[in-house]
């Protein structure tokens, strides 16, 4: 399927039809706008800011910053002096000023086909106001941190926007993370409240979220941090969800399907679950009943609180640089970093990138398959789309459940026009061939997007030809939790695409490629990808640890923001991200720190030392290959292997489960004792050509490790 051309020469142009009415219709327009954005950022962003509501206007420069550690502290400030509220801008402004109250904000599609809910902008605003009042009633104030650990339900959006409305800082933890990871994040950001749900289904698997949340809170207590309030959404009862988002709660009792006679505010109202039968269209399923423990001192029922709450809530006017949220991302030292984003710059940047990168039109139906627990969901399910008054699909389930056509079935069901997913999902679906895709029409699709890792040309071609029928431009968006929004990306009508290249910078973004000594390389070159100046959406600090922010991103090359990614520029000036150049792995589009996995492994009593490397994987991009040296007298066997996998899962989460664990009686080290990961990567990948290993203290170790390699046949 791949043409017989070097990817650099494989250029695709959007169809003429795409250009009609496009926000940025041609490459020349792009270049012109780009120059304006760099030469006069105040004017460029000032014009964008006019679309929003500001309680007070900004004074002075649009962006003020220092990126050079030798000249003082690193700082970035955007629109100083202005005050606004992001929740007001994404909801009230749409309902009141833009008359979009009856427009659908979300088509929620549950894990089970047929499980669905439609929520308009007005309904979303009402629920958010009501929940904002709930937060206030629980003592949450401006600046307080609120942990959110929820499945992909509309109430997750409600919870985050309610925080934003009252100026509280949300810290969302992906519901696939373990209790331990949740605990670490709660303690690090000193959260005063946790919002969670009873549980949810991922495909056939029940995730008993409340049990994990309870375990996390117990661990917090053990560490001397007490979080005393937890709001629990009863999601597994479908009726409960409809009541929470649709009916005026005051007129409906708190849902208790088994024991309607129980007192409304008695804690027992959240104990009971019915055996649910769900019509999937294919099979009829009976869902097991989860047991949800309840601690009346701590746990509060979402629905009972909502029933008591008013739907009027004046937004809290926030200064531009007030914190909006914290989101943790893996750090190369092992401890996750709390990336902090602030109100005005993030709002403008996610709104602008969403509008231009997806060429958003009012009648679009947009669908991003990411989880809101990651930055992609924050920026391109919640804030960016809502700021534009977009209609989105919010999907709880999996691309493979109940079968591998689910994605395309949903595309046809809602007439999705803009679709955004990860290369790992594309590669996984590609394995099943074109038939499951072609069973559905997909004629509503206009723009396809990818995010999370470099897309290999083969997957790009399949996405373009099979999914998009050769009609839809692909926006390969490069960005990071830290960048807040897209920083290198094509614009769908304007930019000629090359499969596997994130093409050019977005407006206001100035990339450079540096060599090891920090010199800027011109023309065709390869090296460290850095940025020379801020854009409104870039992170402001690592929560509680500004020194770490400075040392991680600015120390290596003073004057530049260092992404940690390698990059190549081709003869036409296109940028090609080559992947991480630090000790981070990208497994299915999720960044993992090797140090974090190693520390989970050595946490097991049998393990003396561990080294983790990435091994190329056809679907996940990279898989986790772990070398463990056991303590004297311990033997490696299947039981221990299973325990080690479990250990990592429990410490970090299922996404970090090792694919391979190899018993390594010794690790290849330099004479100064440094583990040679480069050599381990070759062993894991089965590559015999090891390069220069003259610095190895004992080269016989390598032969031994090659001999016992795992998964040699794969
Ligand atoms: C990688 C995800 C190549 C990159 C939004 C980056 C990509 C890390 C792309 C950030 C892309 C993301 N092409 N690589 N289009 N998008 N990456 O913080 O290594 O979860 O540094 O943010 O993902 O991952 P994060």
Q: Which residue's C-alpha comes closest to atom 25 of ligand 1?
A: 480
Only one residue has tokens 């009346």, namely 296
- Collapse the DSSP code of 188 into the 3-class scheme (helix H, G, I; strand E, B; otherwise coil) and give the result: helix
> What's the angle, vertex CA 20, arms to CA 15 and CA 21, rounded to 5?
140
The residues near 397 (Cβ < 8 Å, ≥ 6 apart) are: 109, 110, 111, 112, 202, 203, 406
Distance in Å from the first CA to the final CA of the chain: 23
pLDDT > 70 in the chain, percent: 91
pLDDT of residue 325: 98
The CA 701 to ligand 1 mean position distance, Å, reads 35
Q: What is the pLDDT of residue 278?
A: 45
pLDDT for position 583: 82
Q: Ligand 1, residues 375, 422, 480: which to mutate, most atoms within 8 A of Cβ?
A: 480
60: region left, alpha or beta (phi > 0 left; psi from -120 to 50 alpha) = left
Probe target for ligand 1 pocket from 357, 478, 579, with the most ligand atoms within 8 Å of CB = 478
178 within 8 A of 653, measured Cβ to Cβ: yes
CA gap 332, 585 in Å, rounded? 10
Q: What is the pLDDT of residue 246?
A: 60
Which residue from 332, 452, 528 has its CB within 8 A of the most atoms of ligand 1, so it is best to mutate? 452
DSSP alpha helix (H) spans, 11-143: 16-19, 27-39, 41-49, 86-87, 121-137
Assess contact for 169 and 159: CB atoms under 8 A: no
The answer to which of 4-8, 127-131, 262-266, 302-306 has the lowest mean pLDDT is 262-266
Residue with CA at minimum distance from ligand 1 atom 12: 452
Tell me how far the alpha carbon of residue 479 lies from the centroid of ligand 1, in angstroms: 5
Identify whether the C-beta of residue 626 lies closer than 8 Å to the C-beta of residue 649: no
Residue 470, classified by CB atoms within 10 Å of its CB into exposed (0-12), middle (13-18) or buried (19+), is exposed
- Please report the pLDDT score of residue 244 as a whole number: 55
Q: What distance in angstroms lies between residue 243's CA and the mean position of ligand 1's atoms?
A: 38
User: In angstroms, how far apart are the furthest CA atoms of the chain?
Assistant: 77
Task: Provide the Cα torsion 380, 383, 384, 386; round to 10°.
Answer: 110
**Of residues 205, 209, 344, 224, the one with CA closest to residue 287:** 205
Q: Look at residue 272 in the predicted model and tell me its pLDDT.
A: 33
pLDDT tops 80 at residue 270: no
382 or 1: which carries more pLDDT confidence? 382
Region 97-121: what's the mean pLDDT?
96
How confident is the model over 145-157, as a mean pLDDT?
98
Atom 5 of ligand 1, residue of closest alpha carbon: 480
**491 CA distance to ligand 1 centroid (A)?**
18
How high is the pLDDT of residue 537? Answer: 98
Angstrom distance (rounded) from CA 266 to CA 269: 6
User: Average pLDDT in the 48-52 region?
Assistant: 97
Say which residue, 533 or 242, is predicted with more confidence.
533
CB 528 within 8 A of CB 567: yes
DSSP state of 478: B
- The residue whose C-alpha atom lies closest to atom 15 belonging to ligand 1 is 478
Measure the CA–CA gap between 372 and 197, rounded to whole angstroms.
Answer: 15
CA of 58 to the centre of ligand 1 (A): 32
Between 260 and 290, residue with greater pLDDT: 290
CB 185 within 8 A of CB 147: yes
Q: Taking a C-beta distance cutoff of 8 angstroms, is the pair 233, 194 a contact?
A: no
Contact by Cβ (8 Å): 158, 128: yes
Average pLDDT for residues 470-477, to the nearest whole number?
97
Please answer whether residues 301 and 234 qualify as being in contact, where contact means their C-beta atoms are separated by less than 8 angstroms: yes
* Residue 51: predicted pLDDT: 96
Q: Which ligand 1 atom sits nearest the alpha carbon of residue 579?
A: 19
Cα–Cα distance measured from residue 592 to residue 374, given in angstroms and rounded to the nearest whole number: 13
CA of 694 to the centre of ligand 1 (A): 34
**C-alpha to C-alpha distance for 249 and 256, rounded to whole angstroms:** 14
Atom of ligand 1 nearest to the CA of 564: 21
| Cα(565) to centroid(ligand 1), Å | 9
Q: Name the residue at shortest CA distance from atom 14 of ligand 1.
A: 453
> What pLDDT is attached to residue 263?
29
Average pLDDT score over residue span 99-119 = 96
Nearest CA-CA partner of 388 in 340, 353, 438: 353
The predicted structure's pLDDT at residue 713: 63
Q: How far is the CA of 453 from the centre of ligand 1 (A)?
A: 5
Enumerate the H helices of 415-510 as residue ranges.
423-430, 435-438, 457-462
Is a pLDDT exceeding 80 seen at residue 299?
A: yes
% of the chain at pLDDT higher than 90: 81
Distance of CA 683 to the CA centre of its chain: 31
pLDDT of 712 reads 67
Cα–ligand 1 centroid distance for 562 (angstroms): 13
H or E element, residue 244: helix 238-245
Lowest model confidence (mean pLDDT) among 155-164, 170-179, 273-282, 294-303: 273-282
pLDDT at 80 over 70: yes
Q: Which atom of ligand 1 is nearest to the CA of 577?
A: 3
Which atom belonging to ligand 1 lies closest to the Cα atom of 450? Answer: 15
Q: What is the mean pLDDT of residues 673-680?
A: 86
**SS3 sequence of 270-326:** HCCCCCEEEECCCCEEEECCCCCCCCCCCEEEHHHHHHCCCCCCCCCCEECCCEEEE
Nearest residue (CA) to ligand 1, atom 24? 480
Q: How far apart are CA 477 and CA 457, in angstroms?
A: 15
Predicted local confidence at residue 530, as pLDDT: 98
Q: Is the pLDDT of residue 667 over 60?
A: yes
Q: Is 97 exposed, middle or buried (0-12, 13-18, 19+ CB in 10 A)?
A: exposed
Among 164-168, 398-402, 640-644, 692-696, name the one with the lowest average pLDDT: 692-696
Closest atom, ligand 1, to C-alpha of 502: 15
| pTM of the full structure | 0.91
714 pLDDT band, cuts 50/70/90, is low
User: Which range among 257-266, 345-354, 573-582, 614-623 shows the weakest confidence by mean pLDDT?
Assistant: 257-266
C-alpha 243/C-alpha 564 separation (Å) is 46
Element (H, E) at 550: helix 546-553
Ligand 1 centre distance from Cα of residue 478 (Å): 6
pLDDT higher than 70, residue 287: no
**Is 253 a residue whose pLDDT tops 50?**
no
Instruction: Report the separation in Å between the CA atom of 452 and the middle of ligand 1, taken as the mean of its atom positions.
Output: 4
Ligand 1 site, CB within 6 A: 329, 374-376, 451-454, 476-481, 502, 563-565, 577, 580, 586, 591
Structure tokens at 682: 């070759």
Q: What are 516's two structure tokens? A: 């090891």
Residue 401 has pLDDT above 60, yes or no: yes
pLDDT of 252: 39
Where is average pLDDT lowest: 464-478, 585-599, 600-614, 671-685?
671-685
Ligand 1 atom with least separation from CA of 489: 15
Q: What is the pLDDT of residue 260?
A: 31
Distances (CA, A) of 359 to 13, 225, 366: 15, 46, 11
pLDDT category, 567, cuts 50, 70, 90? very high
> At CA 422, angle to CA 420 and CA 423, rounded to 5?
125
* Residue 119, beta-bridge partner list: 106
Question: In angstroms, what is the span from residue 703 Cα to ligand 1's centroid?
Answer: 35
SS (H, E, C) 552-590: HHCCCCCCCEEEEEEEEECCCCCEEEEEECCCEEEECCE
Atom of ligand 1 nearest to the CA of 482: 18
Q: Please, what is the average pLDDT of the chain?
A: 91
Which of the residue ranges 547-556, 559-568, 700-709 would you say has the lowest mean pLDDT? Answer: 700-709
Q: What is the pLDDT, as a whole number, of residue 183?
A: 97
| Nearest CA among 511, 563, 516, 521 for reference residue 539 | 563
pLDDT greater at residue 271 or residue 221: 221
Ligand 1 centroid–CA 590 distance in Å is 8
Mutational pocket test of ligand 1: of 379, 591, 622, the residue with most ligand atoms within 8 Å of the beta carbon: 591
Per-residue pLDDT averaged across 57-72, rounded?
A: 95
Counting ligand 1 atoms within 8 A of each CB, the residue from 326, 453, 503, 653 with the most, and so the one to mutate, is: 453
Index of the ligand 1 atom closest to the CA of residue 580: 19
**How far does the centroid of ligand 1 lie from the alpha carbon of residue 237, in Å?**
36
CA distance 559 to 486: 21
Q: In angstroms, rounded to a whole number, what is the distance separating the alpha carbons of residues 435 and 660?
A: 32
- Mean pLDDT lowest for which of 253-267, 586-600, 692-706? 253-267
């Amino acid at each position: 399927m791949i043409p017989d051309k070097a990817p650099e020469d494989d250029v695709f142009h959007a169809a003429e039809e795409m250009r009609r009415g496009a926000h940025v219709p041609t490459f020349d327009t792009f270049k012109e706008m780009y120059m304006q954005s760099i030469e006069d950022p105040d004017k460029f962003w000032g014009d964008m800011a006019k679309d929003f509501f500001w309680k007070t206007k900004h004074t002075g420069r649009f962006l003020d910053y220092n990126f050079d550690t030798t000249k003082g502290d690193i700082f970035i400030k955007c629109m100083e002096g202005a005050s606004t509220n992001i929740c007001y801008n994404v909801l009230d402004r749409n309902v009141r000023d833009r008359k979009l109250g009856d427009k659908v904000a979300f088509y929620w599609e549950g894990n089970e086909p047929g499980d669905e809910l439609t929520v308009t902008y007005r309904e979303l605003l009402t629920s958010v106001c009501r929940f904002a009042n709930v937060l206030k009633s629980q003592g949450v104030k401006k600046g307080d941190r609120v942990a959110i650990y929820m499945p992909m339900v509309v109430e997750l959006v409600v919870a985050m926007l309610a925080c934003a409305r009252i100026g509280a800082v949300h810290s969302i933890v992906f519901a696939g993370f373990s209790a331990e990871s949740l605990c670490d994040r709660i303690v690090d950001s000193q959260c005063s409240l946790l919002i969670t749900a009873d549980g949810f289904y991922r495909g056939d698997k029940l995730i008993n979220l409340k049990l994990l949340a309870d375990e996390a809170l117990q661990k917090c207590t053990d560490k001397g941090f007490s979080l005393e309030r937890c709001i629990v959404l009863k999601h597994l009862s479908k009726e409960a969800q409809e009541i929470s988002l649709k009916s005026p709660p005051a007129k409906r009792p708190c849902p208790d399907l088994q024991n309607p006679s129980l007192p409304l505010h008695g804690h027992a109202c959240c104990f009971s679950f019915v055996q649910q039968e769900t019509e999937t269209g294919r099979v009829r399923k009976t869902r097991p009943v989860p047991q949800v423990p309840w601690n009346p001192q701590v746990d509060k029922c979402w629905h009972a609180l909502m029933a008591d709450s008013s739907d009027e809530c004046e937004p809290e006017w926030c200064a531009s640089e007030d914190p909006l949220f914290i989101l943790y991302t893996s750090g190369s030292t092992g401890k996750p970093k709390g990336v902090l984003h602030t109100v005005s710059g993030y709002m403008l940047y996610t709104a602008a990138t969403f509008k231009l990168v997806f060429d958003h039109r009012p009648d679009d139906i947009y669908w991003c398959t990411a989880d809101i627990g990651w930055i992609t969901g924050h920026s391109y399910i919640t804030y960016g789309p809502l700021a534009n008054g977009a209609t989105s699909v919010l999907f709880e389930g999996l691309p493979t459940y109940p079968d591998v056509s689910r994605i395309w079935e949903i595309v046809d069901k809602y007439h999705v026009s803009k679709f955004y997913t990860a290369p790992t999902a594309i590669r996984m679906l590609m394995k099943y061939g074109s038939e499951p895709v072609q069973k559905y029409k997909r004629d509503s699709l206009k723009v396809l997007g990818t995010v999370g890792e470099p897309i290999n040309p083969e997957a790009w071609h399949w996405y373009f030809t099979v999914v998009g029928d050769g009609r839809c431009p692909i926006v390969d968006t490069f960005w990071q939790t830290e960048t807040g929004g897209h920083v290198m990306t094509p614009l769908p009508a304007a930019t000629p695409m090359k499969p596997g290249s994130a093409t050019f910078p977005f407006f206001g973004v100035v990339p450079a490629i540096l060599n090891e000594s920090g010199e800027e390389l011109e023309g065709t070159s390869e090296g460290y990808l850095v940025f020379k100046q801020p854009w409104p959406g870039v992170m402001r600090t690592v929560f509680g640890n500004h020194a770490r922010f400075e040392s991680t991103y600015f120390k290596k090359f003073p004057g530049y923001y260092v992404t940690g990614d390698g990059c190549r520029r081709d003869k036409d000036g296109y940028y090609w991200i080559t992947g991480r150049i630090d000790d981070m792995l990208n497994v299915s589009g999720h960044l993992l720190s090797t140090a974090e996995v190693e520390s989970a492994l050595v946490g097991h009593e049998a393990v003396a030392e561990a080294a983790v490397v990435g091994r190329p994987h056809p679907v996940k991009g990279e898989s986790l290959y772990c070398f463990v040296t056991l303590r004297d007298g311990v033997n490696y066997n299947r039981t221990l292997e299973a325990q080690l996998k479990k250990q990592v899962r429990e410490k970090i989460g299922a996404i970090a489960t090792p694919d391979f664990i190899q018993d390594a009686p010794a690790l290849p080290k330099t004479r100064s004792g440094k583990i040679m990961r480069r050599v381990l990567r070759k062993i894991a990948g089965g590559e015999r050509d090891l390069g220069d290993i003259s610095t190895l203290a004992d080269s016989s170790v390598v032969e031994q490790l090659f001999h016992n390699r795992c998964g040699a046949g794969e």
